[in-house]
Structure 1
Amino acid sequence: MTHLYLIRHGESVANVKPIVAGMKGDVGLTERGIEQAKRLRDRLATSGEIKADVLISSTLPRARQTAEIIQPALGIPIIFDDEVQELKVGEADGMTNQEAWARFGVPDFDRYPLRPLAPGGESWGDFTLRVSRALTRITSEYEGKTIVIVCHGGVIDCSFIHFFRMPSLVVPPIDFHTRNTSITWWERVNRRHQQLWRLNTYNDIAHLQGIGAVESVRWEDTHPAAPVPTEE
């Protein structure tokens, strides 16, 4: 059977500033994020619960740093893959949320799922298609293996859309809340005369007990109180 473990990166500087973080704006993990990743590393080393054949990481610094911290517990090299990055932010990269929203408008993927976050960036539809293609490619290439991907909350959100075959051009009418360094575990099984994906675990953060799981700042919590010029 194919096992797919999706691990969200640790708390990042961009999560708490908040900064729109592509390759330019992403400066890696906070001290808490480093500790979260170390806790996960120690858990995996002690438990041996994930016997990984493949370790893939997003190329964004926050995911790369998380993968490098946990890699010794898995004992295999890291394969870096641009296609499991978070939604690409284009010209907003490195701006604060407030600066980006003032210049490009507040993101509203519910109403405008095909509008990019900023010029050169991705829309919700672009993003879900990219992630779906990446998951199809990776699980096909490593069929029958245990795959670990260190990635992002948005990628893990898209895994639900992909495996549950939900509409991908609209934002689901539910709220995913994926925690830093959480484990999401998908397994491919033979059922009903076909191969189906089974969700075994979502948001497993047992290793964070004692240090807290402080929430990242979310986009909807950083909207200006009054309309920015592009909204008037």
Structure 2
Amino acid sequence: MTTVVLVRHGRTSANASGVLAGRSPGVALDETGREQAAALAQRLTGAPLAAIVTSPMQRCRQTAAAVAEHHGAVPVTVEQGLTECGYGDWTGRPLKELAKDPLWRVVQTQPSAVRFPGGESLIEMASRAQQSIRDLDAAIAAEHGPDAVWVAVSHGDVIKAIVAEALGSHLDSFQRVLIDPASASVVRLTADRPYVACVNTTAGDLAAMLTPPKKPRRGKGRGRGRATGSGTDAPVGGGLGTQAR
């Protein structure tokens, strides 16, 4: 059961000023964003990271570098599939202005029907991001084992699409997911299905949550009410949580 920590980059001046940065070059973390990235890195200090993968955008690479400072032996690799959505003609424009465009309401209510003028459709964005996570996870599991923990640094809409799929939700529901700057969302990936451990966390130590769960006991426990499932079954009633590990 591998675990991916989905990290959104820290705040940028574009975020602070309400501009849709998209794939504009040179959009870096501002002072607050650098502080957020450092705090996130601290939250991950005790985590046994096998890999750090990032969108090619500067703000994501800076956030990934902050995490890597606490995990010196873990290299940072760039993955094009995790890049920002191609907003096309919307790129660089104020959000207040874009909110007056008729397409804005469709983005909010039926994102699966949206193609940004001169850019990418949200279905295309979601598909390539979700496939990238699956491909990366398979490669990391093959190299580091089935209990590998890794970080993927990306963007708000990209992470929302990945989380929505993990929850089994249609893309039209992804606007119900909130992903803040420098937040961490944890998804456990199994052969059966994904498990969402947390979404949009911005505080607290993540190390305990990233510890692989104990394998269920077999043999003597059978027939006596003890769990004997595949090891990836959801705990009926909620389970004991991370405190029991």
1:227 alignment counterpart: none
Change beyond 3 A, Cα 1:122–1:43: same
More helix per residue: 2
2:70 alignment counterpart: 73
1:217 alignment counterpart: none
Change beyond 3 A, Cα 1:81–1:107: farther
What TM-score do you get using the length of structure 2 for normalisation? 0.71
State the SS of the aligned residue for 2:130. Answer: helix
State the SS of the aligned residue for 2:14. Answer: helix
Q: Is the 8 A contact 1:56 1:81 kept in 2?
A: yes
Paired residue type of 1:113: S
CA distance in 2, matches of 1:10, 1:32: 8
CA distance in 1, matches of 2:169, 2:200: 20
CA distance in 1, matches of 2:19, 2:194: 35
Q: Is the 8 A contact 1:116 1:123 kept in 2?
A: yes
Structure possessing the higher radius of gyration over alpha carbons:
2
2:19 alignment counterpart: 19
CA distance in 1, matches of 2:174, 2:187: 22
Q: C-alpha offsets along residues 62-116 of structure 1, whole Å, 9 cap, x if unaligned?
A: 1111111221112211101111122111233233335556789546222463332
CA distance in 1, matches of 2:98, 2:44: 38
Alignment of 1:115 with 2:118, yes or no, is no
Out of 48, 51, 71, the position equivalent to 1:51 is: 48
Paired residue type of 1:108: V
CA distance in 2, matches of 1:163, 1:16: 29
Out of 165, 169, 187, the position equivalent to 1:166 is: 169
Alignment of 1:126 with 2:124, yes or no, is yes
Q: Is the 8 A contact 1:12 1:33 kept in 2?
A: yes
Out of 90, 93, 97, the position equivalent to 2:91 is: 93
State the SS of the aligned residue for 1:172. Answer: helix
1:177 alignment counterpart: 178
Cα drift, residue 182 of structure 1: 1.5
CA distance in 1, matches of 2:94, 2:26: 12
Alignment of 1:148 with 2:151, yes or no, is yes
Cα drift, residue 150 of structure 1: 0.9
State the SS of the aligned residue for 2:44. Answer: helix
Paired residue type of 1:147: W
1:62 alignment counterpart: 59
CA distance in 2, matches of 1:111, 1:162: 16
What TM-score do you get using the length of structure 1 for normalisation? 0.75
CA distance in 2, matches of 1:155, 1:24: 16
Cα drift, residue 166 of structure 1: 2.7
User: Considering only aligned residues, what root-mean-square deviation do their CA atoms show, in Å?
Assistant: 2.5
Paired residue type of 1:177: L
Paired residue type of 2:95: N
Paired residue type of 1:166: S
Change beyond 3 A, Cα 1:43–1:115: closer
Worse-matched range after superposition: 104-113 or 126-135: 104-113
Q: Is the 8 A contact 1:10 1:36 kept in 2?
A: yes
Paired residue type of 1:179: D
Change beyond 3 A, Cα 1:88–1:174: closer
1:30 alignment counterpart: 30
Uncovered stretches (5+) of structure 2, i.e. residues with no partner: 206-245
Uncovered stretches (5+) of structure 1, i.e. residues with no partner: 209-232
Q: Is the 8 A contact 2:64 2:76 kept in 1?
A: yes
CA distance in 1, matches of 2:59, 2:136: 21
Paired residue type of 2:182: T
